[in-house]
A and B are shown apart, each in its own frame.
Chain A
């Protein structure tokens, strides 16, 4: 029996288990997937928790609901990968062998990387919303908060779902307006980027939205520390921003197992060929999702588009053929702007987000770089699509390669 091993059963790993089980004959290939946790989180839903729209139960399901028949599932921490010997050591000392391996160990927040972030005020007046614990603690805090300086700070790049912090401030504006206390809440968005976003057109559009919603923007801010006593964040250049409630997007790092195995960069991301998705160093190892060091967004949509490419290229590798698929860095993000509306961006390694219609040229139904009610429905519907279609590795009517049709230059 040949062995395909998948490390990590999040969005990317689960999709790959479903896809590969269909291709590989069960009497020839054993597929094993390893993850330390039994719960699958619908991470795009975390954004809605602080504002009381979702609760914890809306974003969790057992991982076991999404694995196909005929895949071995092991719930265990991974101690170390030994790529030279094609071995993976589990926490209990068990050794897993593989012929091919997919690393899908993701990334997670590392608040301890910023001095003072996890200080006295952590989960009292300082929160994150990238964990279910942080999002629910913030929901409780907002229920009785009297207002003041609400500061949302992105620590550094890259971080998961680049638009989520912007969606957060848009939602905060709507949330406090609806509660009749917007005049008591001053919202400030503090980012290491030179503007609201990275690429020119999206930055302009999103920057204008911030202004329209009366949200302050402090760009080029590289956080050095959080001062818990004086309730302020300070950057290396000396700029200080005072807060009454700080919502932090901590640094994001790859899993520690990557560091223990000596396979990552200084953020524990695995060097990966950005087109083939093969690991930079080992021919029989592929990397997908947030675990990879690809120069694109860390987002579920990227993992989804990359999964189509990896499915094809992994079969090429297994059958000894040259690679036929090339990943373009395609990302597609619905951006909630509050009041039942949203916008949408679609881009890749080379093409910045452009205006137009999506996915059908001229028809939509979604509008790129424009605020519309339909875009919001796209986001709402997506949770159903995620659980029922995407994780199971089924086809969606969206090309994995970014399309220029329907876009205006």
Chain B
């Protein structure tokens, strides 16, 4: 697996840049990944990231609907905060695996 230096730490990532070990994550790392995605993180962003990390840690599936119903952020704002592909970007910055749409 490739590694990447983020916030002064060597982190294992996938080919697409998703962190392998979610426990390596820190707020500084999040800020660096976000910068690469062209996003400046605010407190609001961190609330969403925390929600995503908790969901994933509980083994739950992430969906736009789930985010919309979370009470943390509505889907429209979520799209504005992580423009383009919000779930893909937000999970990358949250240091969790890319959401697999298994059907």
Contacts and interface: CB of A to CB of B under 8 A. Distances in A.
A295 interface: yes
B64 A198 contact: no
A207 interface: no
B103 A237 contact: no
A151 B32 CA distance: 40
B103 A251 contact: no
Interface string A150-169: 00000011110010000000
Contact of A237 (B66, B84, B100, B102): B84
B60 interface: yes
Contact of B103 (A157, A220, A238, A265): A157
Nearest to B63: A156
A198 B76 CA distance: 25
A27 B64 CA distance: 51
Interface string A262-306: 000110000000000000000000000000010111100000000
Contact of B102 (A113, A192, A296): A296
A312 B88 CA distance: 39
A145 B61 CA distance: 40
Given A237-B84, A297-B103, A157 B79 contact: no
Interface residues on B, range: 10 to 19
Interface residues on A, range: 20 to 34
Contact of B101 (A157, A237, A293): A157
Contact of A162 (B66, B85, B103): B103
Given A222-B75, A224-B75, A236 B64 contact: yes
Contacts of B66: 266
A193 interface: yes
A159 B75 contact: no
A220 B75 contact: no
Contacts of A251: 65
A194 B101 CA distance: 9
Given A156-B64, A236-B64, A265-B60, A198 B75 contact: no
A347 to B, nearest CB: 10
Contacts of A224: 75-76
A251 B64 CA distance: 12
A222 B64 contact: yes
B69 interface: yes
B52 to A, nearest CB: 14
Contacts of A156: 63-65
B78 interface: yes
Interface in B62-103: 63-66, 69, 75-76, 78-79, 84-86, 100-103
A109 B65 CA distance: 15
A293 B63 CA distance: 14
Nearest to A269: B61
A236 B79 contact: yes
Contacts of B103: 157-159, 162, 193, 197-198, 297-298
Contacts of B63: 156-157
Given A220-B85, A224-B75, A237-B84, A198 B65 contact: no
Interface of B: 60-61, 63-66, 69, 75-76, 78-79, 84-86, 100-103
15 contacts: A113-B65, A156-B63, A156-B64, A156-B65, A157-B63, A157-B102, A157-B103, A158-B102, A192-B64, A198-B100, A237-B79, A237-B84, A266-B69, A295-B61, A297-B103
Among all A-B residue pairs, the 10 with the closest Cβ atoms? A162-B103, A222-B64, A295-B102, A236-B75, A236-B79, A198-B101, A237-B79, A157-B101, A157-B103, A198-B103
Given A156-B64, A158-B102, A220-B85, 5 more contacts: A156-B65, A157-B63, A159-B103, A236-B75, A293-B61
Interface of A: 113, 156-159, 162, 192-194, 197-198, 220, 222, 224, 236-238, 251, 265-266, 293, 295-298, 349
